[in-house]
Structure 1
Amino acid sequence: MRPLRNPVIQSALAWTLATWMRFCFATIRWTHENQDVAETIWKRGGGVLCAFWHSRIGLAPACWPLDRATPAKGLISLSPDGQFIAKAVARQGFPAIRGSSANKDKAAKDKTARAKGGTQALRDGLKQLKVGALAITPDGPRGPARQMAEGLPLLAKLSGAPVLFIGLSCKPAIRLDSWDKAVLPLPFGRGAIVWDVADYPTGAELSEVATDWTTRLNAVEARADALTGLEPG
């Protein structure tokens, strides 16, 4: 049995990770770029999609101020690893919607339960977007890294919600040997958060939007890495 499939181990590790992340976020010296874009969204309230690459899940809670931003939930996969991440993020004030942002072609190749989970996640995500923010890693849960599936554009098209592209970085950091080369923060370092925003273009194809938004999300992450000096994974 993999350790993360054990509920007791999973809960203990989730608590440890959440505590570590809070400590790191409090000691990191943050640089914010183009924050006025996010401030406009926060002041307006209502639904918004928040997109960052899967490798930066460990930094994501730092970008969303619970005291002045709309309530946020995260779309997290149904895998055991996803359950662990969901518990850690929930301890920081961001409950999870379980499912996948993968496109319909990928979902059709999955097992029945996983496909049903994706359909339910779409419904739950649209409900969340009527009242607050929904965070998505559009290359998750299996990659390829930094290549956007059509789930995020589909949610933006159906909901009419704007999309915040969020680049997150910190240095020093732990780089995991995972498919996405995930980044975990270390304390007393430098951090950066960079924002961009877009609406779904009228009449555009999902594939075209996914390609364009991949470029934009890569750009804000690259800019955040440049600000901290973190080398690309």
Structure 2
Amino acid sequence: MRPLSNPVVQSALAWTLAKWMQFCVATIRWTHENQPAAEAVWAQGGGVLCVFWHSRIALAPACWPVNRAQPAKALISLSADGEFIAKAVARQGFPAVRGSSTNKDKAQTAKGGAQALRDGLKQLKVGALAITPDGPRGPAKVMAEGLPLMAKLSGAPALFIGLSCSPAIRLKSWDRAVLPLPFGKGAVVWDRADYPEGAEMAQVVADWTARLNAVEARADALTGLKP
């Protein structure tokens, strides 16, 4: 990812990725399942955590109708590749909150995580915060505690979002990221949860991991995308 440290390369690639994502989202035939769960959150307004695995970042704009849903920001890491992703999603109307809740053994990342927590809670007072709970470096589909902690402190609901499309390119990244191709089939599956009062954090992480896996697996089943 060294080329991404160059601001010019970052901007050019971010523009290209944003345009490609917009084109694919517009031409894919989308199926939506359990959308009333999302509609209720949109109608209620206020804070909400939008949760999907890191591998589905490129599909995320398909799940958030900017004309009906709360204004959204995305929690994105402080790394060079995170800067690239932040620029790409910002071009689609989703500004970034920079930081990470993982890699707590690294002082710089931990500092970024603390700032991201503060900025994320501030965003949850007014709108939506998109978060990939296994980012920025995995392991894939292993949920960090940052997500349930934000839900507990803010009182905001978590909206688990399964995203899939087929055909698609699977990158050789740590998360096997899905890059959409146009004119295919797509699926968005929703599930809502609130932080259970008095629950142990470890139990919430386990339950929410299973529920997020379930909506993604269901979305993949709808599109035929292979694991």
TM tier relative to shorter chain: over 0.9
The number of equivalent residue pairs is 227
In structure 2, the residue matched to 1:22 is 22
1:113 shift after superposition: 2.3
CA distance in 2, matches of 1:116, 1:226: 39
In structure 2, the residue matched to 1:192 is 187
4+ runs of 1 displaced by more than 6 Å? none
Q: Which letter does structure 1 place at the counterpart of 2:3? A: P
In structure 2, the residue matched to 1:147 is 142
Q: Which letter does structure 2 place at the counterpart of 1:11? A: S
CA offsets 1:32-90 (integer angstroms, 9 cap, x no match): 00000000000110000010000000000110000010000000000000000000000
Aligned ranges 1:151-166 → 2 under 5 Å:
151-166=146-161
Q: Say whether the 8 Å CA contact 1:73–1:96 is kept in structure 2.
A: yes
CA offsets 1:187-215 (integer angstroms, 9 cap, x no match): 00000000000000011111110111000
In structure 1, the residue matched to 2:51 is 51
In structure 2, the residue matched to 1:70 is 70
Alignment match of 1:135 (pick from 130, 148, 152):
130
> TM-score, length-normalised on structure 1?
0.96
CA offsets 1:94-147 (integer angstroms, 9 cap, x no match): 000000132xxx41x11x222111100000000000000000000011111111
Aligned ranges 1:1-233 → 2 under 5 Å:
2-102=2-102, 106-107=103-104, 109-110=105-106, 112-232=107-227
> TM-score, length-normalised on structure 2?
0.99
Q: Say whether the 8 Å CA contact 1:101–1:136 is kept in structure 2.
A: no
The alignment-based identity, stated in percent, is 79
Q: Say whether the 8 Å CA contact 2:49–2:131 is kept in structure 1.
A: yes
CA RMSD of aligned residues (A): 0.8
| SS of residue matched to 1:218 | helix
CA distance in 1, matches of 2:101, 2:169: 26
Q: Which moved more, 1:112-121 or 1:125-134?
A: 112-121
CA distance in 2, matches of 1:197, 1:57: 19
CA distance in 1, matches of 2:110, 2:41: 32
CA distance in 2, matches of 1:66, 1:101: 26
